């Protein structure tokens, strides 16, 4: 990624940075009132952090989750376009709001940094992809996106083609005592992606074990389809 | 496709095989009750056959249709993600259920074998794709997915970009006395794919003639866009 | 594009031509009544012009808008499949109807010609894309697709990944006194594309200025993601 900082008018918008997976983080210091009215966002938050990626969902939402914990920002929307640059999954589009420009700026900086870390648990082959995530304590973003109770451990298990997703979901919940809080398929809760996804909670070690078990089986299944799955960074965090 | 059988724990899941079009077939011998509750599938069917592809819909549904006829399995879901690996159509995600592990295993084996056969009527160019299917006798999968009456002949005509689909639908129904049982467009019945699709029924020879006529015109139109459409197997079955 | 005119039966369908962005234009002189009933189109219009592209929306809709102004045709449907050949946006599928075969033929010819012109304001990089459009006077197609008042100036601003779209929308409405008539995001009004889109109206020079300002900022932001955005024709019209 050969990222170059653009020369923008500072009164309108600010370029914060880019990250892996075609992720960009931007800042609108003071949203135009006419546009604000169309967005439906709470008008108290005039400063918006705007973040999106072509590929990935849980990793970036977890990155934003940490960013919101560390700053005085609110999540205004988390949307999952059907994207992944030709693969069978989602990208993401997330807007944060704050009364403070500097809080939004910091939140987007953190989100970009952690996106690079979390991308280590995304695995992509020629045939499909897998995405895993684990957080010891879900904040507002994970609670909103995946119905995990605030403050509780969060595990995310996703496989594409969708058949792999269901099988590794089953493997995970058999291997470890966890509770399923979200269940998604091409017709249920996704943007028609070719994925089955579960989010789980429970005690921290059980949730982590469920995710790691799913990863092991998922990589075996995806690699059985004829090409080797790799993460964009090559650095798993689990 | 360089498929390699993974080494999975046998008490949780079973790898059945792969097929063209990034298709994988898996078996869950005894689904976890907590996951089962989220799926909404009939709890009598503890053994699940799980099948999906990145590319293709009618060919694989017809493969599963024959598999269900030949075994004691029920169709639990047929979903059509927006996929095709960057092309304008669907993949598929199909779950079969049975009280018998061996029936599910056999059904997925048949589905994979016939997917390789049926892929001969999928044609892909740089510009778009066409998919055709014909069955002399629709079973449960075709009835559920395309509203064709059970036991009746089934014809499937699909073109992308969508303009080609509508034109070959018109050509087909003019060429042959058939009844349209399903009509799909980007906004109607698809997962926002760039396709127009019709499913038709009627007497067997008329249905087959409709499909073959659509194929002839469709290939001319798609090839007129600048590159030659080819099937992944090169072996048409019609 | 090496387009070759196919040899079709003239009583059923007519190949009009192709254009950039995998666009094809076809004519059904006299739609089959059984198919007509399924489409739900007004049965007075027996001659259909059928137009679609794998990539692009506003440019082609604006092309059709001019075509409908210049001929005696009605717009029967404008649909936006989730396509763009692996990018994060839409393709299009548009059907025109008329009682006159020659009017439909002429409308599709105009639509193809203007698609080649309007594609000059679509910019695609490895990371994402931007689409801009401006018309001094919206006709029926633009009114239907983007809620711009009939006869009024029309501006279209679209960015992908979606974060860029929101930021350039804000930049545009701050730079110029225009009214937002349509606001679209991955979850609002799109087919789950990775885009934020606004359509604006106002006095002609303000609308044009809004679009040009958005283009300048959008190109800087998209190019900051590591590759240079280019239009398929290299000939901007604004």
CB contact under 8 A, B187 and C31: no
CB contact under 8 A, B82 and C80: no
Give, for all 238 residues of chain C, the pLDDT tens digit. Answer: 344 566 655 556 789 999 999 999 999 999 999 999 999 999 999 999 999 999 999 999 999 999 999 999 999 999 999 999 999 999 999 999 999 999 999 999 999 999 999 999 999 999 999 999 999 999 999 999 999 999 999 999 999 999 999 999 999 999 999 999 999 999 999 999 999 999 999 999 999 999 999 999 999 999 999 999 999 999 999 9
Q: Is some CB atom of chain A closer than 8 A to the CB atom of C185? A: yes
**What secondary structure letter does DSSP report for B60?**
H
**CB distance B24 to B18 below 8 Å:** yes
Dihedral sign of CA atoms C197, B127, B91, A231 in order: negative
Dump pLDDT digits (tens) for B13-28: 789 999 999 999 999 9
ipTM: 0.94
CB contact under 8 A, B170 and C6: no
CATH number, domain C123-223, options 3.30.70.1710, 3.30.70.580, 3.30.70.1400, 3.90.600.10: 3.30.70.1710
Q: Is some CB atom of chain B closer than 8 A to the CB atom of C33? A: no
> Which residues in chain C have their CB less than 8 angstroms from residue B185's CB?
77, 79, 93
Same fold, B14-119 and B123-223: yes
Give the Cβ contact number of residue A5 at 10 Å: 11
Question: Which chains pack against B, by 3+ Cβ pairs within 8 A?
Answer: A, C
CATH number of A14-120: 3.30.70.1710
Q: What is the DSSP string of B163-232?
A: HHHHHHHHHHHHHS--EEEEEEBTTBBSSS-S-EEEEEESSHHHHHHHHHHHHHHHHHHHHTTTS--B-S
CB contact under 8 A, A13 and C193: no
Instruction: State the smallest CA–CA distance between residue B91 and chain A in angstroms.
Output: 7
Q: Among A88, A161, A192, select the one facing B24 at the smallest CB separation.
A: A161
The class (CATH top level) of B14-119 is alpha beta
**CB distance C196 to A48 below 8 Å:** no
Chain pair B-C, CB pairs under 8 angstroms: 136
Residue among B183, C224, C127 nearest A91 (CA) = C127
Instruction: State the smallest CA–CA distance between residue C45 and chain B in angstroms.
Output: 15
C69, with CB counted inside 10 A (0-12, 13-18, 19+), is middle
Instruction: State the smallest CA–CA distance between residue A119 and chain B in angstroms.
Output: 21
Q: Is some CB atom of chain B closer than 8 A to the CB atom of A130? A: no
CB contact under 8 A, C164 and A39: no
What residue spans define the domains of chain B? 14-119, 123-223
The model's confidence at residue A12, banded by pLDDT at 50, 70 and 90, is: low
> Which residues in chain C have their CB less than 8 angstroms from residue B193's CB?
81-83
Dump pLDDT digits (tens) for A172-206: 999 999 999 999 999 999 999 999 999 999 999 99
A136, with CB counted inside 10 A (0-12, 13-18, 19+), is exposed
CB contact under 8 A, A162 and B52: yes
Nearest CA in chain B to A171: B12
Is the previous residue joined to A161 through a cis bond, with omega within 30 degrees of 0? yes
- CA dist list (Å): C229 to A137, B87, C126, C129, C216: 40, 21, 8, 7, 12
**If you search the block for the tokens 């599938």, which residue do you land on?**
B41
Q: Decide if pLDDT at B216 tops 70.
A: yes
């Amino acid at each position: 990624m050969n990222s170059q900082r653009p020369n923008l008018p500072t009164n309108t918008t600010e370029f914060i940075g880019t990250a892996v997976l075609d992720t960009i983080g931007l800042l609108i210091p003071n949203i135009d009132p006419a546009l604000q009215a169309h967005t439906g966002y709470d008008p108290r938050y005039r400063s918006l952090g705007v973040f999106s990626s072509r590929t990935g969902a849980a990793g970036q939402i977890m990155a934003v989750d940490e960013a919101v914990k560390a700053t005085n920002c609110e999540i205004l929307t988390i949307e999952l376009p059907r994207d992944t640059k030709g693969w069978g999954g989602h990208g993401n589009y997330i807007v944060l709001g704050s009364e403070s420009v500097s809080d939004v700026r910091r939140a987007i900086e953190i989100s970009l940094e952690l996106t690079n870390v979390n991308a280590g648990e995304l695995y992509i082959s020629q045939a499909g992809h897998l995405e895993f995530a684990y957080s010891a304590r879900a904040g507002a973003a994970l609670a909103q996106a995946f119905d995990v109770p605030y403050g509780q451990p969060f595990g995310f298990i996703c496989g594409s083609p969708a058949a792999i997703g269901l099988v590794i979901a089953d493997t995970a919940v058999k291997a470890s005592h966890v509770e399923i809080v979200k269940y998604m398929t091409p017709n249920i809760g996704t943007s028609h992606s070719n994925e089955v996804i579960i989010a789980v909670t429970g005690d921290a070690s059980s949730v982590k074990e469920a995710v790691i078990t799913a990863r092991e089986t998922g990589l075996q299944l995806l690699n059985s389809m004829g090409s080797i799955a790799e993460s964009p960074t090559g650095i798993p965090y689990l």
